[in-house]
Amino acid sequence: MERNIEQHLNEWKQNPRRKPLIIRGARQVGKTFIIEKFGKNNFEYYFYLNLEQESNLLSVFESKNPQNIINELTALYSIPIINGKTLLFIDEIQFLPEAIASLRYFYEQIPDLHIIAAGSLLDHTLNEIQYSMPIGRVEYAYMFPLNFQEFLTALGENELCNYINSYMPGTNFSEAIHKKITDYLRLYFFIGGMPEAIQTYIDTKNLLEVEKIHANILTSLQYDFAKYGSRQQQGLLKSSLQYVANNIGRKVKYVNIDRNVHSTQLKEALLKLEMSRVIHLVRRTKSFNPPITQYADNENFKPLFIDIGLTCHLAQIKLNNIKTLTTDFEGALAEQFVGQEFIASFAFYKETKLYYWVREAKNSNAEIDYLFQKDNEIYPVEVKAGKTGTLKSMQVYLSEKNKQKGIRLNMDIPNYGHNLKAKIRIKNKEKNIVYSLLSLPLYFAGYLGKIKL
């Protein structure tokens, strides 16, 4: 299974200024698999060290001398650790904070050695670590479930990816190819991007087997809740997780999670899930020019789940016959898909944050699903589950922010409209606006950063 992050790993390997690399991502997104593949294919020696399984290595990593650490590891496991020839992969590094701290000394004293670290719930350890963090001496990369392009590649549809990638706004797009891609998109909605779920479908073509994988993954994610404190806190995490799956794209209302629990505790539960990378919180912002974070509101947000397939499972959508499946959840799934694609489209070294815009005024409410930044321009993005839908909110945004171009993602073929006219009413006043609209199929969400807007 090919992953886009492999190119980033190769660039890291060749970079003479590289630092020890820490891969951050939720459980079961494929971190261990892809690093092992990279190590075995690109190095003479691959040294895999799992600190959850090897709990007796505290004395080794307490040393601040990286050469001593190398000597002891080589003696213990009989695998040579040689600069330029060995990839040292320290998995589940959160179990030994001393190992995280040691990365600083590897960078300072043995910079030519290739070291990658990863782990589940690693962000919690990095946030709480009492040891001296190797700030400035390590670099990070972020992994997520497979995006739609990687899903198509896994199913052998490379040419469909090439067709999408070569599209230029304003040119014709094949109806037949659009239909074929849309069929795969619907399949992705329910299988999702977790590697084991995709591999199970490839091997069996049995969606009920995929359901079992989803159930197992969710069980393992919730098993981690036992590491978060009291039984009450674990219960709040479980309730919050279910709430997110049922309320994709809706502003969080704590009273709807549990009216008997104070909002502070529920917010803390959501933030813990976000830190675990199990959910993403799309924050409201008033910004319309960079920096998009300038007027961000950390008290108001909409949730997304880690994966669209797992979302369907938590929402109890059965996969026995998805070709004829219709659900009131389509709009939420479209917004989940687009958000998931946006997150995966960031550069691998960037922390991902998504934003939306809302105007709350009497008789003049408006909401933009996402704000998408490309270069130094911010575009409003409306998400539609079908081929039609009003654009009142986008028109209000464009008028209020004095913008001229918007993006719509829906289920229709691409279309680029110039000099569109609309009449809107704001504060009991009518206003005529002229704007451009780039309308693209949902499956273009992950390509917005690549095409000319």
Query: Is 133 a domain residue?
Result: yes
Query: Is 208 a domain residue?
Result: yes
pLDDT band of residue 298 (cuts 50, 70, 90) is confident
318 and 254 in one domain? yes
The pLDDT of residue 351 is above 90: no
CATH of the domain at 14: 3.40.50.300
Query: Is 366 a domain residue?
Result: yes
The pLDDT of residue 118 is above 90: yes
DSSP 8-state symbol, 413: P
Please enumerate in sequence order all residues whose Cβ is within 8 A of that of 187, keeping only pairs 6 or more positions apart, or say none: 322
Return the higher-pLDDT residue of 222 and 308: 308
CB contact at 8 A, 354 and 249 = no
What does pTM read for this prediction? Answer: 0.94
268 and 158 in one domain? yes
With CA atoms as reference, report the closest residue to 279 among 256, 263, 302: 302
255 and 155 in one domain? yes
Return the higher-pLDDT residue of 195 and 222: 195
Strand-by-strand arrangement of the 429-441 sheet: 370-374, 377-383, 405-410, 429-441, 415-426
pLDDT at 388: 82
Strand-by-strand arrangement of the 279-285 sheet: 296-305, 279-285, 355-359, 366-368
Which tokens in the block code for residue 247?
């309320």
The pLDDT of residue 446 is above 70: yes
CA distance 453 to 272: 36
At 379-429, the pLDDT tens digits run: 999 999 888 888 999 999 999 999 999 999 999 999 999 889 998 877 778
Query: Is 37 a domain residue?
Result: yes
- Average pLDDT rounded to a whole number, residues 125-145: 80
CA distance 30 to 429: 54
158 and 136 in one domain? no
CA distance 278 to 305: 6
pLDDT at 129: 66
pLDDT at 223: 86
At 434-444, the pLDDT tens digits run: 999 999 999 99
221 and 125 in one domain? no
Q: What percent of the chain has pLDDT over 90?
A: 77
Query: Is 305 a domain residue?
Result: yes
Return the higher-pLDDT residue of 295 and 159: 159
113 and 183 in one domain? no
DSSP 8-state symbol, 174: -
Identify the domain boundary among 110, 127, 142.
Answer: 142
178 and 125 in one domain? no
Query: Is 121 a domain residue?
Result: yes
389 and 244 in one domain? no
328 and 204 in one domain? yes
The pLDDT of residue 225 is above 70: yes
CA distance 325 to 23: 37
| Amino acid letter for position 120 | S
- Average pLDDT rounded to a whole number, residues 192-218: 96
Query: Is 188 a domain residue?
Result: yes
At 301-340, the pLDDT tens digits run: 999 999 999 999 998 887 666 666 556 688 899 999 999 9
CB contact at 8 A, 174 and 369 = no
Domain count, the chain: 3
pLDDT at 363: 64
At 34-86, the pLDDT tens digits run: 999 999 999 999 999 999 998 889 999 988 899 999 999 999 999 999 999 99
154 and 48 in one domain? no
At 150-195, the pLDDT tens digits run: 999 999 999 999 999 999 998 999 999 999 999 999 999 999 999 9
Please report the DSSP string for 112-158 in residue order.
Answer: TSEEEEE-TTHHHHHHH--S---TTT-EEEE--S--HHHHHHHTT-H
With CA atoms as reference, report the closest residue to 212 among 315, 336, 317, 313: 313
Query: Is 286 a domain residue?
Result: no
pLDDT band of residue 32 (cuts 50, 70, 90) is very high
Interaxial angle between packed helices 195-204 and 175-191, expressed in degrees from 0 to 180 and rounded to the nearest 10: 110
Among positive and negative, which fits the CA dihedral 232, 235, 241, 244? negative
Return the higher-pLDDT residue of 230 and 82: 82
- Partnered with residue 434 across adjacent β-strands are 421
- Average pLDDT rounded to a whole number, residues 99-121: 94
Strand-by-strand arrangement of the 86-91 sheet: 45-50, 86-91, 114-118, 21-24, 139-142
Give the structural domain span for 239: 148-279+293-349
CA distance 233 to 449: 39
Identify the domain boundary among 97, 120, 142.
Answer: 142
CA distance 36 to 90: 11
66 and 42 in one domain? yes
CA distance 207 to 27: 22
266 and 128 in one domain? no
Identify the domain boundary among 318, 349, 380.
Answer: 349
